[in-house]
Amino acid sequence: MPIEPKNFKVTNAIGSTDNFAGAEVQFFHITIVQSDSSVLDLRTELDFNETMHNLIRTILERGTILYQRIDNAATGRIDITMERSGWTAATLQVAIRALGDTVGVNSRSVSLSVVSQTELKLDNS
């Protein structure tokens, strides 16, 4: 007869992310939206002092980015995983929008950007 450990648990809750490796993490889905309501193609904003550099500096003010994924399409989408984050989706959205309409050397707008907190997904959505 197998022994059942007293502290064994398969999951904390169905649909939530369980972390068995270390500090708690948060997942954020960010869409960079310009003042004209169009999304910003981030593939052209990856160099020093361009939009992504400034976004990352802002995000790092309140936590450590463990993983990031920038969509390889004109979607404006960034997905990040943060450890010990001091952000909520609402506060991160406010901070990104506060960067305004002249971000980086190319003066890109991020003033209508949208942030949501998500769970871990290992698919292409």
Q: Would residue 29 count as lying in a domain?
A: yes
Q: Would residue 60 count as lying in a domain?
A: yes
Q: Would residue 15 count as lying in a domain?
A: no
Measure the CA–CA gap between 70 and 73, rounded to whole angstroms. 9
Please report, for the domain that includes residue 39, its CATH number. Answer: 3.30.70
Number of independent structural domains in the chain: 1
Structure tokens at 59: 């995000």
Residue numbers in the chain where pLDDT is lower than 70: 1-12, 15, 20, 122-125
The whole-number pLDDT of residue 12 equals 66
Q: Would residue 18 count as lying in a domain?
A: no
Q: Would residue 69 count as lying in a domain?
A: yes
Torsion of CA 36, 104, 80, 76, to 10 degrees: 30
- Quick: pLDDT tens for 33-48: 999 999 999 999 999 9
